[in-house]
Every structure is written in C-alpha cells, then in structure tokens.
Copies of this chain bind each other. A is one copy, B any other.
Amino acid sequence: MTYVAPIADFRFALEACADFWSLCERYPDLDADLLAAILDGAGALASETLAPINRSGDRAGVKLNGDVVTAAPGFREAYEAFKQGGWQGLAADPTYGGQGLPRALAIAVMETVHSANMSFALLPMLTLGAIEAIEQHGAPDQKKLYLEKLVSGEWSGTMNLTEPQAGSDLGAITTKAVAQADGSYAITGQKIFITWGEHDCAPNIIHLVLARIEGAPAGSKGISMFIVPKFRDEDGSRNAVRCIGLEEKMGIHASPTCTLAYEGATGWLIGQENKGLAAMFTMMNAARINVGMSGVGVAEAAYQKALAYARERKQGGKLIIEHPDVRRMLMTMRAKIQAGRAICYATAVAADAGEKAREDLLTPIAKAWCTDLGVEVSSLGVQVHGGMGFVEEGGAAQFYRDARIAPIYEGTNGIQAIDLYGRKLLSDRGEAMRQLIEEAGAVAGSTHPYLSAAIDALVDATDYMLAASRDDALTGANAYLQLAGDVVGGMLLIKGGARDPNAEQRALLRHYARTVLARAPSRVAEIRIGAEFLDASAL
C-alpha cells in the first residue's frame, strides 16, 4: 500500500474550512472542475511517480564526487515528470509562463508532493522561494532572464543564508561582495545547510545569496541579496560556486544539504543594496507556509501507513485497529492533520486575498504548529506499528526521521514564536489577533464550549503578551503560539463542519475538541510563567 492523496480531505479543508471560493472574484477562471482536475493530477503524480522512490531514496541517499552531486536513483526522472506536468508554475505570474492560480491551490499540491516524498518536495519548494524573491524584488531584466526558466522548472533555485559561524544570526554574515566593472559582484564566502544546493536534476541552479558589499554597515543593515547562477548568463561558463560537502543527516536523505564555497563567483544584486534581509524575508515567508505544509504532508503519509498497518495486522486475535488505544492514536493523527491542513490553506487564502495582516499573523503559526504536528503524528505512526515502527523496513521510521527537520529549518519554531510576538503581535498592538479572535468567537457561538474556553484563554494570553516585559513575553511565546494554533485549527474545523456537515469530519472535530482544545486553556499557566522562572542556575 502506497500513499494516496486524500482529495476529499483537501477539498473539505480548502472549500469548507479555508474559504477557498472567496477567491473566485480574483481568479475568474477558477472553478470546481479545474480544482478537482489539479488535485487529481497532483495526487496521481505523487502516488505513481514520487511515493515509489521515497524509501529507495532514503536508503540510497545522495552522492558527492568532486563537486558533482548525484541525486538518488529515479529522482532525475521524477523531476522531469514534475516539470513536464507544469506543477512548478501553478501560482506563478502568467507573464512568465505561470498559471496564475491561487497559492492556496499550489500549497495543496505541494502537500501531496511532501507526503509522497519529502526529500523530493524540497527541490520545487526552494525554487518557489526563488521565484517569489525575483518576482517581488528583481529588476525587469532579471525577471526576464530567470523567471521563465524557474517557473517552467527547467532551472531550480536555492536560498543561501546560513554560514558556519553565524547560524540563524543573519547579521553575522561575512560572505563578501565586491563590485566589478560590468555591474556584477564577485561573491566570496562559505554557505552551509543549502538544500538542493547542487544536484544533477536540472541544467542550471539559481542561488539567491546573502552577502555583504564591501564597506556596508555592520550587522543586519549591511546585508544584500545576490543572484548567483551556477552557469553564468553571459557565456554559459561555470560560475565559481562549488559544493564542497554534504551533511549526513537523520532524515530527508535523498535531499542534498550542501556546503557551498563561493570563490569570487559572479553575482548580481537583487533589490536594493543593504536591503537583502527584507528580500530574504519575503522569500522565507512564502517558504514558511510550505514548510508548515510539509509537516502536514509527512503526517498524512505517516497516518496512511499506520492506518493500513492497523487494518491488516492482527494482534490478540483481532486486528490492531479494533484496539481502542490504536483507534485513539489514529483519530488523534487524523484530527490534527485536518486542523493543520486547514491552517496552512487559510494562511495561503489570506495571502491570495491580499489580507496581509492575516497572512502575516498566520504564517508563523502555520509553520510552527504544523511542523510540531508532523513530529507528533509521525511518532504516533511509529507507535501504531509497534516493533515494526522502529525497524526501517516498516517505513514508519523514515517519516519520523524526515519530519524532525521541519521544526528547525526556515527559522526554528522558537524563531516563529518570537516572530509571532515581536513582528506580528507588537507591530499592530494585537489588532490582527483581535480580529482573528472575534472571528473565532463568532464561529464558536454558544454551541462549542471547548473552542469558547480556548478563545477566552487566548484573549487572556494576548492581553498578557501585550503588557508583559519583552523577556517575560518571549518566555511564554512558544506556548502562546501553540494556543493560537489550537484555536485557529478548532475554528476552521468548526467552520468547515457548519458549511459541509458530514459525519466523518464531525467525528474529527469532536476528537480535536476533547484532545487539543480541552488542553488549550492550560497553556496560559505556561505563557504566564515569566522570565524569572527560567532560573538559569537550575540548568
């Protein structure tokens, strides 16, 4: 049994929970047939092409020979199929060959790609980030030069932030850019943790690189962003960027995580000098929804595998699925997946609808809540399998190993919590959150006591966060993000159930209420814990 895209769940989450059709004025060509055709097509690609090379890719991994990275067997062909299907450009600008469809649809497609093969999914995911950055910050000639080939999937893209000495501290970047006579820059430095930074699936790779122009201010205000193509635009010659190492990781083995050495590579400034961080953040924000989606995707794959195992494996004379505790685990898995899916889709719908404040508020929640979910659900998947869950042959172990990266990259979940507090809550003194809470209150009405209690807790916690000292607020920020995610997930499931009442989704909502929402109010104690409680002398 391999992964099958849960199309009905996608559609429930999109249409009933996430108000997908509120976008129809902005996307007049969109209709239910097109939606169905796209989801079916993506599902078929996932099941037939990507899922079959997931386990083999995990075992084979990627190989580095000199500076040549060879993808796992079948990945080149799979990428070719992905490209031919036009999947890369689903939400991209039609001027450059994109289909101009909503991002909400594009991330639903990415979910199924992540479920089938998380290592593979990172390749188009990073390209999406590059497209986004060039669309928003590129000069016209840069758009012309790169977008068409990125949108078609002919070339792939990467994000180059981290350096060995700097970690997530982008202000500490030391890669330098020296202006050349022809208007380009010579880029020199080393970048680490570059996902799909080198590979043989596409003839060219477009690196978006953070570096510091000679003489730029210190810290984060002196960072600029550069486009560094693997092969130079001018003459097609090989640029001076080389892969000098691959990380040995716990999971996503078929995705090369590269150390890239830039030795005077030709780069082109994108956006304004010293405004590289802002450009990188647009790129990262788009990527964060997709990373949240990957948490849901890997969780769905883990769920399907566990469900199939529970339905075919006997224990104590009966199928394991007949054991209440196994059903409980499966139900928890599915309920959280559906809530997480709705959160990601709703975030993308807000982006598509131009509701910037809502998009900004939901993005860190989608990223962190859904990637934590990926870890928790894939762990339950291991547990449902019993001993076979720990054995690699069983397949559940890979999801558990793969899922663990998602709370870390594109900004750790701790950074998401800081973002939700510092850049979102504080920046509008809680206005966007108040609107969200109001909407949730209307959805809860008087008939959803678990959601109502969770909302009350969120109101209380929001007041606290706005009034607290920065250190106190940051101490509670993770629990605050979790609480907000619990509420948004519950609100969306209830919205969906009101619009499309069906017994299956209603059972998930009941389970979510008694397991997730019931817990939500207790998070306030942790949110209010206060920095002085974190007595470092006790560590």
Q: Does A39 contact B (CB under 8 A)?
A: no
Assess A321 versus B475: contact at CB under 8 Å? Given A167-B313, A383-B407. Answer: no
* Cβ contact within 8 Å between B393 and A324: no
* Cβ contact within 8 Å between B538 and A248: no
* Cβ contact within 8 Å between B331 and A534: yes
Taken residue by residue from 211 to 250, chain A's Cβ proximity to chain B (1 for < 8 Å, 0 otherwise) reads as 0000000000000000000000000000000000001111
Copies of this chain, tallied across the complex: 2
Q: Does A89 contact B (CB under 8 A)?
A: no
- A129 to B: closest C-beta gap in Å: 17
Q: Does A387 contact B (CB under 8 A)?
A: yes
Taken residue by residue from 303 to 346, chain A's Cβ proximity to chain B (1 for < 8 Å, 0 otherwise) reads as 00001000001111100010111111111001000000000000
**CA of A536 to CA of B323, assembled, Å:** 11
Taken residue by residue from 500 to 539, chain A's Cβ proximity to chain B (1 for < 8 Å, 0 otherwise) reads as 0001110110110111001101110110110101111111
- A159 to B: closest C-beta gap in Å: 13
Q: Does A281 contact B (CB under 8 A)?
A: no
Task: Determine which of B327, B478, B523 lies in contact with A534 in the assembled complex, contact meaning CB atoms within 8 Å.
Answer: B327
**CA of A409 to CA of B386, assembled, Å:** 8
**CA of A233 to CA of B324, assembled, Å:** 46
Q: Does A158 contact B (CB under 8 A)?
A: no
Task: Determine which of B522, B529, B537 lies in contact with A504 in the assembled complex, contact meaning CB atoms within 8 Å.
Answer: B537
**CA of A218 to CA of B75, assembled, Å:** 51
Assess A334 versus B193: contact at CB under 8 Å? Given A317-B172, A383-B408, A534-B324. Answer: no
Assess A169 versus B315: contact at CB under 8 Å? Given A325-B417, A401-B250, A518-B522. Answer: yes
* Cβ contact within 8 Å between B247 and A391: yes
- A436 to B: closest C-beta gap in Å: 22
Q: Does A74 contact B (CB under 8 A)?
A: no
A400: chain B residues within 8 A (beta carbon): 250, 404
- A121 to B: closest C-beta gap in Å: 16
* Cβ contact within 8 Å between B504 and A514: no
Q: Does A392 contact B (CB under 8 A)?
A: yes
* Cβ contact within 8 Å between B330 and A504: no
Q: Does A412 contact B (CB under 8 A)?
A: yes
Q: Does A471 contact B (CB under 8 A)?
A: yes
* Cβ contact within 8 Å between A317 and B169: yes
Chain A residues 402-456 with CB under 8 Å of chain B are 404-405, 407-409, 412-414, 417-418, 450
* Cβ contact within 8 Å between A408 and B391: no
* Cβ contact within 8 Å between A390 and B478: no
A307: chain B residues within 8 A (beta carbon): 539
**CA of A405 to CA of B478, assembled, Å:** 28
Q: Does A477 contact B (CB under 8 A)?
A: yes
Q: A249-B391, A325-B478 are in contact. List 19 more A-B contacts (CB 8 A).
A: A169-B314, A249-B390, A249-B392, A250-B392, A307-B539, A323-B474, A330-B539, A331-B533, A334-B538, A379-B404, A383-B407, A383-B408, A387-B408, A397-B404, A507-B538, A518-B525, A519-B522, A521-B522, A522-B522
- 19 A-B pairs with CB atoms under 8 Å apart are A162-B387, A168-B316, A169-B314, A192-B387, A193-B387, A249-B390, A250-B401, A325-B417, A326-B414, A331-B535, A331-B538, A383-B407, A383-B412, A383-B413, A450-B525, A503-B537, A513-B525, A514-B525, A514-B533
Using a CB–CB cutoff of 8 Å, the interface residues on chain A facing chain B are 162, 167-169, 171-172, 192-193, 247-251, 257, 307, 313-317, 321, 323-331, 334, 375, 379, 382-383, 386-387, 389-393, 397, 400-401, 404-405, 407-409, 412-414, 417-418, 450, 471, 474-475, 477-478, 503-505, 507-508, 510-511, 513-515, 518-519, 521-523, 525-526, 528-529, 531, 533-539
